[in-house]
Amino acid sequence: MQNTNNIDLSSLQRRDFASDFRWGCSTSSYQIEGAVDQDERGESIWDRFCATPGHIRDGSSGAMACDHYRRWPQDLDLARNLGTNAYRFSIAWPRIFANGRGRAANQKGLDFYSRLVDGMLERGLEPWVTLYHWDLPQALQDQGGWANRDTVDAFVDYTDVVSRHLGDRIKHWITHNEPWCTAFHGHYEGVHAPGLKDFKTALQVCHNVLVSHGLAIPVIRRNVPAARVGAALSLHPLKPASDSAQDAAATLRHDGLRNRWFLDPLHGRGYPADIWQRVGDNAPQVQPGDLEVIATATDFLGVNYYFPEIVADAPGQGVLATRVVEAENVERTAFGWEVSPEGMVTLLSRVARDYQPAEIYLTENGSTYDDVVGADGQIEDHQRRRYLMRHLAALKEIVALGIPVKGYFAWSLLDNFEWAEGYIRRFGLTHVDFATQQRRLKASGQWYRDFLRGETA
């Protein structure tokens, strides 16, 4: 592709994209809401995980976060003032069922999301809801969590309740956010809740999450006739560390678990045979009919794109015998993630070629830098602004290639609780002073607003 470094970024305009293109920001419940004890919300696995010293880098939790549970009208005003026409958010399952399941849903929790959705519609923001963005009710974890097949049924019941209550106003439904992270960060690496470190468990979790996705779809469609449903996957373009045949084979294996393990079964191909064979006894238990369920037709594929990975052969290292190596001489965000708008083009070209989803939405994309509030109160986050511009320039190329990308959601509307990194990593287009809860639009947010208003030419 054309190197986006050479693209005249100042000529990037909203009218380069279709008039019905979705422009939004993404957030998630645990990362912004706070109010964890409010209105009979139950405990989530993240409340529990954060309580153990050492799990979160700054010792914090989402107990207060952005106080969005109380400040949501102001936050939706921010989204409207940016000029976005869609907003992606998630529902905290423990607000709907404190113990994960039960006969009666918590009306106060449903009322909160009902008000929130009304607030979006009043502001011209199309609601895009995610049902599971990692805050599992702790009561379900106490019974094995996603490793226990019963959690699949609990998720379907929860989906039924939410889609019955909000389906008159929400058309776009995302079942799961980044199943890879749920499974591997949470159950193999142990860096996310529930903090387990077992490969076999992680694979069973993957499977159960995918089955729950498939079983939820007909439930949503039954309750919301006009629903459009999909899942949001974290996908990565991969490059081998060298020209060697070993590194090429390692890259294929890494791709097998990172990308194909999700994309293949969702598109009716079952689990990739090369990886299935390799994981041996760690393979998940698959019940008859599960693969058909996972392949239930969706309306779109959500892709969360952050960075590419470089892969090397690493004999003896883990089940895959692969290792991710650091690219040299590349630009990185404060997280160390390589900045590569080109990678987004490579990734989406590949997904479109190999899987032909009817529609693709970039459900997350964004960057973290060490922001400084100037004496004048301005946050001159030029690197984030440039990151956003370059990724939108890449998006323009993706559209020009004929790839059916129909929307872009920036991560994130607000600085928020960045999981294991606590409040150290800021991803917002809006700065949040966590001591005062003051919000200030950063230079990146100002640019996004100008772009959306058609004022960047």
From residue 307, alpha-carbon distances to 1, 6, 326, 346 in Å are: 17, 20, 12, 11
Q: How far is the CB of 249 from ligand FCB (least distance, A)?
A: 27
Cis before 444? omega within 30:
no
Q: Is 421 a catalytic residue?
A: no
Question: Is 31 or 61 the residue whose CB approaches ligand FCB more closely?
Answer: 31
Residue 297: DSSP 8-state:
-
Burial call 155-166: b when 16+ CB within 10 Å, e when fewer: bbbbbbbbbbbb
Q: How far is the CB of 368 from ligand FCB (least distance, A)?
A: 7
Name the active-site residue from 43, 126, 178, 342: 178
Q: Which residues bind ligand FCB (CB under 6 A)?
A: 28, 31, 177-178, 181, 234, 304, 364, 411, 418-419, 427
Q: CA–CA separation, 176 vs 180, rounded Å?
A: 10
Question: Is 155 or 427 the residue whose CB approaches ligand FCB more closely?
Answer: 427
Q: How far is the CB of 184 from ligand FCB (least distance, A)?
A: 12
The rounded Cα 218 to chain-centroid distance in angstroms is: 22
Residue with token string 């142990």: 190
Structure tokens at 319: 């089940």
Name the active-site residue from 126, 364, 397, 421: 364
The closest of 243, 354, 250 to 311, measured between CA atoms, is: 250
Q: How far is the CB of 364 from ligand FCB (least distance, A)?
A: 6
Q: CA–CA separation, 75 vs 66, rounded Å?
A: 9
Interacting residues of 333 by C-beta distance below 8 A, sequence separation 6+: 339, 367, 368, 369, 383, 387
Strands 430-433 and 405-411 turn out to be unpaired
Question: Is 181 or 405 the residue whose CB approaches ligand FCB more closely?
Answer: 181
Question: Is 140 or 414 the residue whose CB approaches ligand FCB more closely?
Answer: 414
Question: Is 234 or 456 the residue whose CB approaches ligand FCB more closely?
Answer: 234
Question: Is 17 or 30 the residue whose CB approaches ligand FCB more closely?
Answer: 30
Question: Is 17 or 300 the residue whose CB approaches ligand FCB more closely?
Answer: 300
Cis before 341? omega within 30:
no
Q: Is 338 a catalytic residue?
A: no
Nearest 5°: CA angle at 78, between 132 and 161?
30
Structure tokens at 302: 């959500």
On the CB side of 447, CA atoms within 13 Å amount to 23
CB 295, CB 268: distance < 8 Å: yes
The closest of 423, 397, 412 to 448, measured between CA atoms, is: 412
- List the catalytic residues: 178, 364
